[in-house]
Structure 1
Amino acid sequence: MHAVEVNFDGLVGPTHNYAGLSYGNVASLSHATAHSNPREAVLQGLEKMKAMHALGLAQGIFAPHARPDINVLKRLGFSGSDNQIIAKAYKTDPILLRACYSASAMWTANAATVSPSADTLDGKVHFTAANLNNKFHRSLEPTTTSALLGAMFNDPHYFTHHPHLPEQGFFGDEGAANHNRLSDHHGANGLEIFVFGASSFNNELPKPTKFPARQTLEASHAIARLHQLKNENQLFIQQNPEVIDQGVFHNDVIAVANGNVLLCHEQAFLNQATAIKQIKNNYLGGLPLHIIEVPSNKVSVSDAVSSYLFNSQLITLPSGAMLLVAPQECQRNKAVNNYINELLADENPIEQVRFFDLRQSMQNGGGPACLRLRVALTEAELAAVNPAVRFTEEKYTQLVTWANTHYRDSLSSDDFADPQLLIESYQALDQLTQILNLGSVYPFQL
């Protein structure tokens, strides 16, 4: 079955800011309270989308969420008009207000877990929005994410949507950032690898001691059941707790997979030799499987986290060659850049690298892979996707104009007291719903 991988990149929201809300995300914490540039951030993301489209790749667009989240502030006891609610929250609980302004939904690798139709018993593409219950600001996302996914993939003949898992911490789910898939090609029967940080119920499995494990084994099992995966299509592997404590808060900060290639650090998984053997034994393809383990003496975990080498996108080009889409930080880091040059010279399918300036996202703890949700689609399934969320040159021009019209070029936590920021943000999304034909996905009225 022929299929293509479509990357649906998250548009950075108008309230993109550095609030340092994500404990365990080293980059996010280190840039807390710095001034952000929302306009530069969204334009950087759009530039990456345009470059991928120019390479002949199918590219999609994932809309941001409405921020600030006034409804949750009301649920937490703030009353009055929108302006009054913001003023009260800014005065009495500015940390809570910062969380309600978060634009973290830009990292759509956390939006959902997706299983292509080649792997599911009913032959449909399955989506489960992530509950993101480990962080308050991200736990506000699942309902809108589900609405957006429903507006994008709205044909029930091809697509099945599942509600997010229960909010209790036992079922912590952070989406595709902890999910890899290996196959001969995107339309082939694939091995879906669920990488979990800890188990909620099995205390014999180790846990990190400094930073939280955000993906649980129980959540991964539940998603595999919901997606009706065949037994041979699923494998569960634990992330190394020691690297979680070094700032590897998601698996996509230490490993990336595409087609028949898995690029991972040698410390990525617990009992790595056994984990690699399991992957090899369970791989369903006929092509040679390339598992590339990056040694610590060439790239340390610290360098991997600071450069986001493994949060690069690994993409199959129309020619069949693989491209590494990396942040510029990889080029600036001497050890990482040397390793990438070595990688390209070795015998493996990765033949090219492109570096992108994503500084605004990187400083908040998200690289190229964080910004996209991968969806493998057959021709019929791709034709059933809402056409308005497909990237085109015309759409790019339209969105650049939209961003330059509605986005500020500087934002600090003091700006959260400005009621005009809410109006600007909501007006931007109101226009975006028309550009992307999203209907009534946002819970506000202008």
Structure 2
Amino acid sequence: MKSCEVNFDGLVGPTHNYGGLSYGNVASQSNSQQSSNPKEAALQGLAKMKALMEMGFVQGVLAPQERPDVAALRSLGFAGTDAQVIQQAAKQAMPLLVASCSASSMWVANAATVSPSADTADGRVHFTAANLNCKYHRSIEHPTTSRVLGAMFADQKHFAHHAALPAVAQFGDEGAANHTRFCRDYGEAGVEFFVFGRSAFDTRYPAPQKYPARQTLEASQAVARLHGLRDDGVVYAQQNPAVIDAGVFHNDVIAVGNGEVLFYHEDAFLNTEQMLGELQGKLGKLGGNFQSICVPRAQVGVEDAVRSYLFNSQLLTRADGSMLLIVPEECRANERVWQYLQGLTSSGGLIREVKVFDLKQSMQNGGGPACLRLRVALNETELAAVNPGVIMTAPLYDTLTQWVDKHYRDSLRETDLADPQLLLECRTALDELTQILKLGSVYPFQIN
């Protein structure tokens, strides 16, 4: 049965703003308080989706969340009408209002961890929503994320959904941003690769000193158990604490994998040779041929990797088996990174082509091409069971661009978040979006 890997990209929400909320994310912090352009951000993301669809890749859309999150503000003691809650928060605790308005759900690499049916004990595709408990503004996402994923992948015969792990530091889970999968074919059993920043209980693992390690070993192990993964189909690796302190807040900022290939920076991991050997051995037992491409620090330093988001790229397999790398414009603007990429594609190696996309609005808030997508490997039967309303087509692209033009502002500053009208605009837009994507009632304002 034919299988493919579908990229479900996050649709940027109407409250896209630069709140500087993500400590440890250099881009997020350095652009804090600047004026954002939600309309441009959404259109840039949609343009990438359309381009990949036109290249022949199956492309999906994952809806944004309701913001500001008035229910979250009420749980923190603000009361009255929705407008009064927003105005009180703006007056008494502006940072909480900014957090409740975050459009960070656009980076759906953090939405969940996904295991395809070829890997799981019950033969279903498994989803575990990420708790994202390291940052308050992200920790409030998973209830809506679970409902949206449930509406997209509703057939229980093919799809299994798990609640987020306990929202405590010991089980910090950042989803697919620290998870990838290696396989000979998307429909065959593969090796799932979990990267963690620290262990909650085992002091033998070193921890970063400056920035928090968001993913724990214990969270990764729990997800593997929930998904019914075989021990010989899982590899755990620790991210280098030094690169976390350099601004590599997720593994997908320093490495990316696809098929049988891992593209990574020389400083990405601890115990790299041992890890590579384990991946090679386990994939080899499944008939695969694991291959790795190491980017030397002498050619591209960690600072350049973080600034350009070279590794927060999409590594995709074309129909002819060649590999394509989708990178942000910032890679072309960085002389050392671009020189490396030119040499990479001209060498006749595994990666044959690089395509550049303008994602400046997302990049300035700390998310590149890979942050914007959640990968789901599906066979033909499973793909047919996906809600068809979320699969990108030319008519859907046209409808969504018109929807963005109709509902989104072209400028948003922190002071604008105190405007109660913004909540009404967001709800009106999302109510219409659920009809476009055929999601049903997934937002709190639609349910309560």
TM-score by length of 1: 0.99
Tell me the C-alpha RMSD between the 2 structures: 1.0
Q: Is the 8 A contact 2:115 2:127 kept in 1?
A: yes
Q: Is the 8 A contact 1:31 1:363 kept in 2?
A: yes
Match of 1:315 in 2: 316
3-state SS, counterpart of residue 118 of structure 1? coil
Q: CA deviation at 1:241?
A: 0.5
Q: CA deviation at 1:287?
A: 4.5
In 2, the alpha carbon distance for the partners of 1:233 and 1:17 equals 40
Q: Is 1:3 matched with 2:3?
A: yes
Deviations 1:68-102 (A, max 9, x none): 00001111111111111111100000000000000
Match of 2:327 in 1: 326
Letter in 1 for 2:181: R
In 1, the alpha carbon distance for the partners of 2:397 and 2:228 equals 36
In 1, the alpha carbon distance for the partners of 2:123 and 2:420 equals 48
Q: CA deviation at 1:256?
A: 0.2
Aligned residue pairs total 446
Match of 1:23 in 2: 23
Match of 1:223 in 2: 223
Match of 2:201 in 1: 201
Q: Is 1:395 matched with 2:422?
A: no
Runs of 4+ in 1 over 4 A off after TM superposition: none
Q: Is 1:355 matched with 2:356?
A: yes
Alignment of 1:52-91 (within 5 A): 52-91=52-91
Match of 1:186 in 2: 186
Q: Is the 8 A contact 1:10 1:106 kept in 2?
A: yes
Alignment of 1:268-347 (within 5 A): 268-284=268-284, 285-347=286-348
Q: Is the 8 A contact 2:170 2:200 kept in 1?
A: yes
Deviations 1:85-123 (A, max 9, x none): 111100000000000000000000000000001111111
In 2, the alpha carbon distance for the partners of 1:347 and 1:172 equals 40
In 1, the alpha carbon distance for the partners of 2:232 and 2:275 equals 16
Match of 1:421 in 2: 422
Match of 1:114 in 2: 114
In 1, the alpha carbon distance for the partners of 2:365 and 2:269 equals 25
In 2, the alpha carbon distance for the partners of 1:339 and 1:79 equals 55
Q: Is the 8 A contact 1:69 1:100 kept in 2?
A: yes
In 1, the alpha carbon distance for the partners of 2:347 and 2:254 equals 20
3-state SS, counterpart of residue 364 of structure 1? coil
Q: Is 1:34 matched with 2:30?
A: no
In 1, the alpha carbon distance for the partners of 2:125 and 2:86 equals 40
Deviations 1:383-416 (A, max 9, x none): 0000000000000000000000000000000001
In 1, the alpha carbon distance for the partners of 2:180 and 2:396 equals 30
In 1, the alpha carbon distance for the partners of 2:317 and 2:247 equals 29
3-state SS, counterpart of residue 311 of structure 1? coil
In 1, the alpha carbon distance for the partners of 2:377 and 2:28 equals 30
Q: Is the 8 A contact 2:279 2:290 kept in 1?
A: no
Q: CA deviation at 1:146?
A: 0.4
Q: Is 1:44 matched with 2:56?
A: no
What runs of 5+ residues in structure 1 fail to find an aligned partner? none
In 2, the alpha carbon distance for the partners of 1:429 and 1:294 equals 42
In 2, the alpha carbon distance for the partners of 1:389 and 1:292 equals 34
3-state SS, counterpart of residue 337 of structure 2? helix
Alignment of 1:105-144 (within 5 A): 105-144=105-144
3-state SS, counterpart of residue 160 of structure 2? strand
In 2, the alpha carbon distance for the partners of 1:282 and 1:438 equals 39
In 2, the alpha carbon distance for the partners of 1:184 and 1:117 equals 15
Letter in 1 for 2:56: G
In 2, the alpha carbon distance for the partners of 1:256 and 1:185 equals 17
Letter in 1 for 2:366: G
Q: Is the 8 A contact 1:239 1:269 kept in 2?
A: yes
In 2, the alpha carbon distance for the partners of 1:313 and 1:14 equals 25
- Percent identical: 59
In 1, the alpha carbon distance for the partners of 2:267 and 2:23 equals 21
Q: CA deviation at 1:274?
A: 2.1
In 1, the alpha carbon distance for the partners of 2:351 and 2:115 equals 24
Q: Is 1:431 matched with 2:432?
A: yes
Deviations 1:112-139 (A, max 9, x none): 0000011111111000000000000000
Deviations 1:256-286 (A, max 9, x none): 0000110000111012222222222222443
Q: Is the 8 A contact 2:181 2:193 kept in 1?
A: yes
Match of 2:367 in 1: 366
TM-score by length of 2: 0.98
Q: CA deviation at 1:439?
A: 0.9
In 2, the alpha carbon distance for the partners of 1:183 and 1:385 equals 22
In 2, the alpha carbon distance for the partners of 1:240 and 1:46 equals 34
Q: Is the 8 A contact 1:290 1:348 kept in 2?
A: no
In 2, the alpha carbon distance for the partners of 1:233 and 1:276 equals 14
Match of 2:252 in 1: 252
Q: After the TM superposition, which of the residue ranges 7-16 and 267-276 deviates more from structure 2?
A: 267-276
Q: CA deviation at 1:347?
A: 4.1
In 2, the alpha carbon distance for the partners of 1:165 and 1:123 equals 22
In 1, the alpha carbon distance for the partners of 2:160 and 2:400 equals 29
3-state SS, counterpart of residue 257 of structure 1? strand
In 1, the alpha carbon distance for the partners of 2:315 and 2:65 equals 27
Match of 1:261 in 2: 261
In 2, the alpha carbon distance for the partners of 1:295 and 1:18 equals 33
Q: Is the 8 A contact 1:197 1:213 kept in 2?
A: yes
In 2, the alpha carbon distance for the partners of 1:324 and 1:52 equals 12
Deviations 1:119-171 (A, max 9, x none): 11111100000000000000000100000000000000000000100001100
In 2, the alpha carbon distance for the partners of 1:93 and 1:287 equals 54
In 2, the alpha carbon distance for the partners of 1:286 and 1:278 equals 14
